[in-house]
Amino acid sequence: MSGHDCDITLTVNGERVTERVDARQTLVDFLRDDLILTGSHVGCEHGVCGACTVRVDGVLVRGCLMLAAQCDGAHVETIEGVSDLGEIADLQAAFEKRNALQCGFCTPGMLLTAQELLARGGVPSRETIREQISGNYCRCTGYQAIVDAIESVAQTRAGAKR
Partner 1 sequence: MKPAPFAYAKAKSLDHAIALLAHPDGEARLLAGGQSLMATLNMRLSAPKLLIDLNGIAGLAGIAVKNGAVEIGAMTRHAEAERSPDIARHAPLIALAMPHIGHSAIRNRGTLGGSIAFADPAAELPACLLALGGEVDIAGPNGTRTVKADDFFKGLFETALGAADVLTTIRLPAATNDTRVGFAEYARRHGDYAMVGLAASARAAGQRLAGVRLAYFGVGNVPVRAKAAEAALADGSIDDAVMALATDLAPSGDVQATGATKVHLAGVLLRRAAKQLTETRP
The answer to the question of residue 46 lying near partner 1 (CB under 8 A) is yes
The answer to the question of residue 60 lying near partner 1 (CB under 8 A) is yes
For residue 24, the minimal CB distance to partner 1 (Å) is: 4
DSSP character for 162? Answer: -
Burial class (CB in 10 A: 0-12, 13-18, 19+), 45: middle
Candidate segments 65-73, 85-93, 99-107, 140-148, binder of partner 1 by CB under 8 A: 65-73
**List of residues 6+ apart from 64 with CB closer than 8 A:** 26, 27, 28, 42, 44, 45, 46, 47, 52
For residue 97, the minimal CB distance to partner 1 (Å) is: 25
The answer to the question of residue 134 lying near partner 1 (CB under 8 A) is yes
d(CA 160, CA 123): 12
The answer to the question of residue 40 lying near partner 1 (CB under 8 A) is no
* Residues 12, 15, 21, 24, Cα dihedral to 10°: 0
- Kindly list the residues in this chain that would bind partner 1 in the complex (CB under 8 A): 1-4, 6, 22-24, 26, 29, 45-47, 50, 53, 59-62, 64-67, 69-70, 72, 113, 116-117, 131-132, 134-136
